[in-house]
A and B are shown apart, each in its own frame.
Chain A
Amino acid sequence: MRSIIVGIAELKFAEPPDKLVTYGLGSCIAITLHAGEAALGSMAHILLPMAHTGKENASPGKFADSAVTAMVREMGEREIGPSDLIAKIAGGADMFAGQFKGTGRRIGERNILAVRKALSDNGIGLAAEDVGGTAGRTVEFDTQTGVLTVRTLRGNVVEL
């Protein structure tokens, strides 16, 4: 079993028994898709809600909309449809409790809304989420079981 690290703005796929891991989510969100019968999992670590329209996007994993589109397309190439997928998400914290100025203000909240919309637009059910708050999160996605384990620096552990 390997632990495959998903960095900021990346998206990756893995098969059981491997796990997909991303560290230190603040306002960013980890989106996981699990295709249980096809034994395949995917995780994206998105930074922002939406890609620039009409621009070539070299990093689809950076944005909520382009990440979900890319994950669904890749699943489709393996003949896995949206109704075969279960989504879980974690992240979207407001680390500075509203003190941030400019573009990054309330970015966590905007990311949460954008991810939910992107999943809905693509016909994917959101099975569970651990989002918002003011604490960072590290998540580990088991591609065998589809369980998403969320940990904080203060020792809290949640299994979705």
Chain B
Amino acid sequence: MIEDRPTALLLTGEQVAAVAEVAAIAAAQAGSALSRLSSIHVRIADPEIVSKKIREIPGLFGGLDAPAMGVLVPFQGDMEGNALLLFPEKGISELEAVLLPSAEEDDLRRSAFTEVGNILTGTLLTVLSSLSEKVVVSLPPFLVQDMAGAILDSMLAEIGAFSDEVTVLVLELTGPEGGSLVRSVLIPGQAGIELLLEAAGRLRAGS
């Protein structure tokens, strides 16, 4: 049986505003890190904080069987969990064309894309770790290409043990011309949401 545990997955309006503030700081730094990697100016717009029922999440990707690419970044330390960054297939090629124009071989593309996901998620975690004053270390990323629903399942199972709803961050990456490259969804999971709330609380207390 799954043990009862307090859930932080359902956020109040005030919490959403506080988390949005922290997420915007983290996303800006992640955009800068990605720009340094690619030598191209990449910006990440202030993330949208979206709360949905679990069964509605796949709709953000065009359906459960829509092809997608996911980068799982497990983390440990004062908090242990997983962050999953999911990219719909439509948009991956645009992102690759801008960020990885020389990566032609499939293995090289996969490796490079894993690094993109790792930098994005790792930078977000580093910023949140710093703001929250919690020690959080990201572990090596794991890349999966498959149906969006299949990639999401393990995250939704973790969340579903505690709640029927989940909060996710929608990240829009824009390229040097200002046009949208891709809309990605970051699912922070239980520990990730707790980390966001801790960071938001400390940021507000210090301001």
Residues of chain A whose beta carbon lies under 8 Å from any beta carbon of chain B: 7-10, 22-28, 47-48, 50, 52-53, 58-59, 62, 93, 95-97, 99-104, 107-108, 135-138, 153
Contact = CB atoms under 8 A, between A and B. Distances in A.
Nearest to A5: B64
A136 B151 CA distance: 8
A103 B147 contact: no
Contact of B2 (A10, A27, A48): A48
A136 to B, nearest CB: 2
Given A103-B2, A107-B154, A136-B146, A24 B58 contact: yes
A102 B81 contact: yes
Contacts of B160: 9, 47-48, 62
Given A101-B80, A102-B82, A103-B158, A135 B150 contact: yes
A26 B72 contact: no
B1 A96 contact: no
A53 B149 contact: no
B108 to A, nearest CB: 21
Given A7-B64, A108-B154, 13 more contacts: A8-B58, A8-B64, A26-B154, A93-B153, A95-B70, A97-B142, A99-B142, A100-B74, A102-B82, A103-B158, A104-B157, A104-B158, A107-B158
7 contacts: A27-B157, A28-B153, A47-B153, A99-B72, A100-B158, A102-B191, A103-B157
B63 A96 contact: no
B76 interface: yes
Contacts of B152: 24, 26
Contact of A23 (B81, B147, B155, B158): B147
Contacts of A102: 80-82, 158, 189-191
Contacts of A9: 54-55, 160, 164
A23 B64 CA distance: 5
A45 to B, nearest CB: 9
A58 to B, nearest CB: 8
